[in-house]
Chains A and B, each alone.
Chain A
């Protein structure tokens, strides 16, 4: 995003709208710090600039990644859908992507409201790769990895800043403690925050097979959560015990 200097009257109305504080005022002149700007488009859409001075510039193949990870209306070339991750458990009743005995893990870096450089995402991704994580293929962050076995990103991407990005993968439940220990080992090495979510297929008695692991390791999950209530028409037969999704998933 840029502010057209010929139109801007420096009224500062747009300044508070930026989620990462990238709209700055220097000597009464309002400008966007393009290094900090994550291309989320909030200023363009919501600040109601009285002069129409906020403009979306053309983004090159590096900078476009900021927009994909920050603007919900942007579409990832990889996934062909908007958003920073995948549909994860939202459609698990249909796809059978997360089953009993497994834990889906989402490490959303930069959330809430901090933003992250991709170098911090790479640091966490490389640490997790060392314990044998298999990255979610349809995730737009996975698509940025040079090598999914190491979690290494393309060097030219590392300074890019995004509002948030999700590292996504699924592990067997017995590997969840190792994942959590790894995340603990890197959390003081990053210059941002991450929000951690764990996905579980509930049992017949609505038991969460991964909850005891979280509690035993000292985590205190939130009392509110996302719940797929099972109304989708399944392509996967959970009762069959098959390890493979039904065709079409």
Chain B
């Protein structure tokens, strides 16, 4: 259902987090959708997507874009993420001009989605609005850790892995970039925003973190 929503973080951080997915529909455009999905990935790559993927191949950390593009199959959800509103807006404008048959979903701050749609000349149709998390919320990882783990809506990025990698950065064992790439690996769909994770880690240690010589 809503695995790109519920991304946790402050407004400033979420400004650099725009997910775009293409999702074919059975009975409408499922069969024969592969060429469009290949175009979707290829264009997103040209527009500067920081990660992409599908469950057919996996994500961009472990597979080059060319492999993701080549392997996508008819009917599969296809996922890309941008770290910048302008890049995402350019991509969505291309999507609108392409006028393909497949449904497109953008997950981001509403205040970003609106101008992105306006620039592309399209009108938001439906929303899935995250209302909140309820129940035994004391079981949740800390707010800091959830900024990273919720970037994989399927829950593939464990809080323990994030904690370990943050500790490794603190010890000077790895750079924020390497830690962000390691966090992104389990997220098969490629919605994990590597740049946002790297920025969060940099911010956390005031820009003074990294591998020791």
Complex partner residue of A229 from B5, B92, B188, CB under 8 angstroms: B92
Residue A132 interfacial (CB < 8 Å) = no
Interface residues on B, range: 35 or more
Inter-subunit contact A230/B123 (CB<8 Å): yes
Partner-B contacts on A (CB < 8 A): 15-21, 40, 42, 45-46, 70, 72-73, 82-95, 98, 104, 106, 108, 110-114, 163-164, 166, 168, 183-184, 187-188, 190-202, 206, 208, 210-211, 214, 219-233, 235, 248-249
Of all chain B residues, the one with the shortest Cβ separation from A92 is: B126
A88-B128, A248-B27 given; A168·B1 CB < 8 A: yes
Taking CB atoms, residues of chain A closer than 8 Å to B158 are 16-21, 42, 113
Inter-subunit contact A220/B127 (CB<8 Å): no
Inter-subunit contact B156/A40 (CB<8 Å): yes
Residue B141 interfacial (CB < 8 Å) = yes
| Distance (whole angstroms) from the CB of B134 to the closest CB of chain A | 5
Taking CB atoms, residues of chain B closer than 8 Å to A249 are 27-28
- Pick the interface stretch among B64-72, B160-168, B194-202: B160-168
- Please list 29 pairs of residues, one from A and one from B, whose beta carbons are closer than 8 Å in the complex, sorted by A's number: A18-B158, A18-B160, A19-B155, A19-B158, A72-B55, A83-B1, A89-B126, A89-B128, A90-B77, A91-B25, A94-B28, A106-B1, A106-B2, A112-B140, A112-B146, A113-B140, A113-B149, A193-B135, A197-B5, A199-B128, A206-B114, A210-B129, A222-B130, A222-B131, A223-B109, A226-B107, A230-B124, A231-B96, A232-B25
Interface digits, B84-124 against A, CB 8 Å rule (1 contact, 0 not)? 00000000100110011111111111110110010010111
Of all chain B residues, the one with the shortest Cβ separation from A82 is: B55
Complex partner residue of A112 from B100, B155, B185, CB under 8 angstroms: B155
